Amino acid sequence: MGTGYHVYCKNCFSLENSEEDEGFTSTDYSKYQIRTGGGFLCFHKEQLEEDFENILDGEKETIEVIKVKLKEGFSFNELVGYLPYYCEKCKILDNRYYFEMSKDNEKYIPIYKCSLCSEELKSAIISSELKDGGSWAGDIIKYKVGDLRIDIKNKRLKIYDSNNKEYKLLCRKCNGGDFYIDQNIMWD
């Protein structure tokens, strides 16, 4: 129900010389961690309805909007889960929890801001996950999710929009733009 990826800067990080990965910390600027889907934490809308304050911990503004929307009669749609988000200004990836709420013909999708510059983030999908199928992929296609797509080829990562314009990803440590990507977990 979810996939995890590690993205390593080619200049800063050597996969061959690395010790056992001890996880990611906020000071580990040469790597990114991307999660998609919901895993067992929250993979369907009923879980989100019951526990959105814990699931969206730290997203105070979004939590307040959800409370208002629920009082107005909005409900969560089926597609819920983590997605990578991209900041055009900082050229970094961030992971956020994607969901949609609707009422009649109205729709609410959270707008997340970059933690570094406060610019609006763009949601992204990993194109190989669409090809692999499954319910998560079907929901992504059904709900037309993703401003951008992330292509993975030969363990390299590229980011594109719908017009095939390429977006740069920068290492937060050395400012380099060449990354390895490794699918490291399947979570459920």
Q: Report in angstroms the alpha-carbon separations of 164 from 99, 151, 161.
A: 25, 11, 5
Residue % of the chain over a pLDDT of 70? 69
Domain ranges of the chain: 2-17+33-187
Q: In DSSP terms, which residues pair with 126 in a beta bridge? A: 150
- Please report which confidence band the pLDDT of residue 74 belongs to, taking 50, 70 and 90 as the band edges: very high
Residue 27 confidence (pLDDT) = 46
Q: Please tell me the pTM assigned to this model.
A: 0.79
Q: What is the predicted pLDDT for the residue at 128?
A: 67
- Say which residue, 6 or 69, is predicted with more confidence: 69
Alpha helices in the chain (DSSP H): 45-55, 60-71, 127-132, 134-142
Distance, in Å, from the CA atom of 103 to the CA atom of 108, rounded to the nearest integer, reads 9
